[in-house]
Chain A
Amino acid sequence: MKILTKEWLDAFGKAINDNPAYSEAASWWEGNMLCVIEPSGPLDREVRFFLGLYHGECTGVKLVEEGEEVDVEFTLSGPYDNWVKIAKKELDTIQGVMSGKLRLVGNMAKLMRATRAAQEIVNSLQNVETEFL
Chain B
Amino acid sequence: MWYFFSPDIIYGEDALDFLENITGKKCYIITDRTIKELGYLKVLTDKLEKLGKTFDIFNEVQPDPREELVLRVKHLCNSYAPDLIIALGGGSVIDTAKVIWAMYEYPQYGIDDLHIFNRDLYDLGKKAKFIAIPTTSGTGADVTYDAVISRYNNGVWQKLIQAHRGLVPSYAILDPIFPIGMPPNLTLDTGMDIIAHAIESLIANGKNEFSNALATKAIELSLKYLPIAYKNGKNKEARDHLHQAATMAGLAFGNANLHIGHTTGHCLGAVFTVPHGKCVGIMLKYATQYCLNNPDKDDLSVEIYAKLAKQLGWAKWEDDNKKAANLVIEKLRELYREVGFPEKIQDLGISNGDLEKNLDTLVNLCFQDASGSMSPRLPSKADFENIYRYAYEGKDIDF
Q: Do A and B bind each other?
A: yes
Q: Is the CB–CB distance between B117 and A108 below 8 Å?
A: yes
Q: Is the CB–CB distance between B368 and A95 below 8 Å?
A: no
Q: Is the CB–CB distance between A27 and B116 below 8 Å?
A: no
Q: Is the CB–CB distance between A99 and B1 below 8 Å?
A: yes
Q: Is the CB–CB distance between A95 and B370 below 8 Å?
A: no
Chain B contact residue count (CB 8 A cutoff): 25
CA distance A7 to B86 in the complex (A): 57
Please judge, given known A-B contacts A21-B380, A95-B206, whether A112 and B370 are in contact too, CB under 8 Å: yes
Query: Which residues of B303-346 have CB atoms within 8 Å of chain A's CB atoms?
Result: none
- A20, A97, A115: the one contacting B373 at CB < 8 Å is A115
Chain A contact residue count (CB 8 A cutoff): 27
Q: Is the CB–CB distance between B364 and A27 below 8 Å?
A: yes
Residues of A close to B205: CB separation below 8 A: 92, 95
Residues of A close to B370: CB separation below 8 A: 112-113, 115
Interface Cβ pair total, 8 Å cutoff: 57
Write the nearest CB–CB distance from B258 to chain A, whole angstroms.
12
Q: Is the CB–CB distance between B373 and A94 below 8 Å?
A: yes
Query: Which residues of B258-312 have CB atoms within 8 Å of chain A's CB atoms?
Result: none
CA distance A98 to B1 in the complex (A): 11
Residues of A close to B2: CB separation below 8 A: 95, 99
Q: Is the CB–CB distance between B367 and A103 below 8 Å?
A: no
Q: Is the CB–CB distance between A20 and B115 below 8 Å?
A: no
Complex interface: stretch among A31-39, A41-49, A63-71, A116-124: A116-124
Query: Which residues of B1-20 have CB atoms within 8 Å of chain A's CB atoms?
Result: 1-3
Residues of A close to B1: CB separation below 8 A: 99
Is B372 in the interface zone, CB < 8 Å from A?
A: yes
Please judge, given known A-B contacts A28-B367, A114-B368, A116-B372, whether A97 and B378 are in contact too, CB under 8 Å: no
Q: Is the CB–CB distance between A28 and B368 below 8 Å?
A: yes
5 nearest interchain CB pairs?
Answer: A115-B373, A108-B115, A113-B368, A116-B373, A24-B381
What are 15 sample pairs from A and B whose C-beta atoms fall under 8 A apart? A24-B381, A25-B367, A27-B367, A95-B2, A97-B116, A108-B112, A109-B161, A112-B161, A112-B163, A113-B370, A114-B368, A115-B370, A116-B378, A118-B373, A119-B378
Interface residues of B (CB under 8 A from A): 1-3, 112, 115-117, 119, 158, 160-161, 163, 205-206, 364, 367-370, 372-374, 378, 380-381
For the complex with contacts A115-B372, A119-B378, 20 further pairs of A-B residues with Cβ separation under 8 Å are A21-B380, A28-B368, A92-B205, A94-B373, A95-B2, A97-B116, A99-B1, A99-B3, A100-B119, A103-B117, A108-B116, A109-B160, A112-B163, A113-B369, A113-B370, A115-B373, A116-B367, A116-B368, A118-B373, A120-B378
